[in-house]
Structure 1
């Protein structure tokens, strides 16, 4: 081989090596621990669903998916932490109606914008419960409304995040009752105070409320979805009494928008496949979530979240909640 041919061959080696290294790097994701940041406390729907799917992701990838709870400011503290993390796919936001839809219309000053994130997977949609104390004198939505309107002062409504606050406010506008809002660190704390008699009703999502309803700790008067929940067929929908009242929420996995496209696509497939793993899917449905089609793309997931933000902006306006 001539000298110049040898040099040419040797000169091509670093390029080939670099290309090979890049390909391996892309294939390797995830190559280390991945953090799923849940911007609410343990025990809530976002926490439960993240642990369920995170465990399956560990099984498939062989890498740890660690859940970190960072509650506060209706999810803004934890969401902002993800916004400020490197855009490398190793810090994932467990997004929700509160953080990516409702907060946008509830607060004048935000520490992040929904557009800072790309939603790579939607876990599913779910209705909320309308919960009251187990020994409350009213047994139906109609009786509750009649009772509330006879009281000299507003009843107390507790909430732990935006997705449990807005349904209560919309209920006020729809039925004509008056509530005095009581804010809690999370939905679980609001349910505990409901049981103690410190508030009269709460509207948590069904994942949070399920065990409390089944155990008899509190009583569900209704669900906020258009139709009854398949898990609780004996609990009527508010819409059966007030047809115009329908409101649902969702949870999703999101990353910083600047995250490389190949990592976004990898996460989309990993997470959607994890949701549809038979044991996981069964549990997701047991929790009351209705998952989207398995083949949903990033574009479809992102469009869904954008549409929900539009819908919740309308709900908040209808509920006459002023931005703080």
Structure 2
């Protein structure tokens, strides 16, 4: 994925100020809607971004949480919103995947949203409670094989669910998926010892790992995370063929004017050059490669095709 250019974006400030419905000083704040509970990785990322966007845009940018139904409740709010540049969705890979996991999704992810920016890719983590008896992937697999369906794993959206179920399939073990409304409740139960394992983003888990409250057993990508260089990839830990990355995206309502989408993308680029924002997000494992509206549209189509094939292959299943 292309990196953010280090050179200043010539003319970006003028372009931002020229956008009538989005970026000039105004009485109404710009809202970033996160369709998950506060405290999770998407929420943490969005709040850091919103703080910087407030400076970049010269307008208040707020984060609003609308959790529930695997992110679809909040997503529908944005899908039905006026395309005036006042409301954007910040979501994960589940944004596209939900089409293949939810039988009655009230919107179509490609049709009913306007691409704005791919914000970041990041590895997911297989994490364990500090009180769990296993300390690595081999120990978890051994425990699961000794007592099938006795160990739970927490998930918070369709992409996280896929990561967990892909692991159990490739490891040839039986575990019990425990769905949550967001990453923060998973982490709370891991810290408290109520949940043995869970799947999280590096963004959500970073502070709990540094405090020693949970353990990271493996990362889902084929390369180790620079944030956690001591944590093996799942492939290194013996799960051959495991490779999966999460991502954050910003989209707007359908029929968002292309000029607004392009200028918001420019604002995101400018914001991620602010040292405090950049350092904050890099420190929690975010990869700040950004795609604009047109390449993002192609990326989302590729993701849609990927999940359609995964559904046909039985690698993901519809939620009740």
TM-score, length-normalised on structure 2?
0.87
Query: Which one of 155, 158, 171 corresponds to residue 159 of structure 1?
Result: 155
Cα distance change on mapping 1:149 and 1:128 into 2, 3 Å? same
Partner of 1:270: 267
Question: How far does the alpha carbon of each residue in 1:188-220 deviate from its partner, in whole angstroms, 9 at most, with x for none?
Answer: 112222333333211111111111111111111
Partner of 2:305: 310
- Alpha-carbon deviation of 1:310? 3.0
How do residues 48-67 of structure 1 correspond to structure 2 at under 5 angstroms? 48-67=44-63
Q: What SS does structure 1 have at the residue aligned with 2:223? A: coil
- 1:106 equivalent to 2:130? Answer no
Cα distance change on mapping 1:162 and 1:155 into 2, 3 Å? same
Cα distance in 1 between the residues matched to 2:172 and 2:148? 14
Cα distance change on mapping 1:317 and 1:204 into 2, 3 Å? farther
How do residues 87-236 of structure 1 correspond to structure 2 at under 5 angstroms? 87-98=83-94, 100-115=95-110, 116-236=112-232
Provide structure 1 residue ranges, at least 5 long, that are not aligned to the other structure.
1-23
- Alpha-carbon deviation of 1:94? 0.8
Task: Flag the structure with larger Rg.
Answer: 1
- Alpha-carbon deviation of 1:27? 4.8
CA contact (8 A) 1:166 1:315 kept: no
Cα distance change on mapping 1:291 and 1:316 into 2, 3 Å? farther
CA contact (8 A) 1:118 1:257 kept: yes
Cα distance in 1 between the residues matched to 2:312 and 2:193? 30
Cα distance change on mapping 1:314 and 1:242 into 2, 3 Å? farther
Question: How far does the alpha carbon of each residue in 1:263-301 deviate from its partner, in whole angstroms, 9 at most, with x for none?
Answer: 1111111112212333322222212111225xx431112
Cα distance in 1 between the residues matched to 2:222 and 2:20? 43
- Alpha-carbon deviation of 1:243? 3.0
Partner of 1:21: none
Cα distance in 2 between the residues matched to 1:38 and 1:146? 37
Cα distance change on mapping 1:316 and 1:181 into 2, 3 Å? farther
Query: Which one of 244, 253, 273 corresponds to residue 241 of structure 2?
Result: 244
Whichever structure has more helix as a proportion of its residues is 1
Cα distance change on mapping 1:39 and 1:152 into 2, 3 Å? closer
Cα distance in 1 between the residues matched to 2:243 and 2:159? 13
Cα distance in 1 between the residues matched to 2:268 and 2:259? 14
Question: How far does the alpha carbon of each residue in 1:30-76 deviate from its partner, in whole angstroms, 9 at most, with x for none?
Answer: 24321111111111111111111111111122111111111111110
RMSD between superposed Cα atoms in Å:
2.0
- Alpha-carbon deviation of 1:126? 0.5
Partner of 1:11: none
- Alpha-carbon deviation of 1:316? 5.5
- 1:297 equivalent to 2:298? Answer no
TM-score, length-normalised on structure 1?
0.86
Cα distance in 2 between the residues matched to 1:227 and 1:310? 24
CA contact (8 A) 2:148 2:175 kept: no
Cα distance in 2 between the residues matched to 1:319 and 1:169? 11
Cα distance in 2 between the residues matched to 1:42 and 1:292? 24
Greater mean deviation of Cα atoms: 154-163 or 225-234: 154-163
Cα distance in 2 between the residues matched to 1:41 and 1:66? 15
Cα distance in 2 between the residues matched to 1:97 and 1:108? 18
Partner of 2:30: 34
Number of equivalent positions: 298
Cα distance change on mapping 1:134 and 1:313 into 2, 3 Å? farther
CA contact (8 A) 1:170 1:316 kept: no
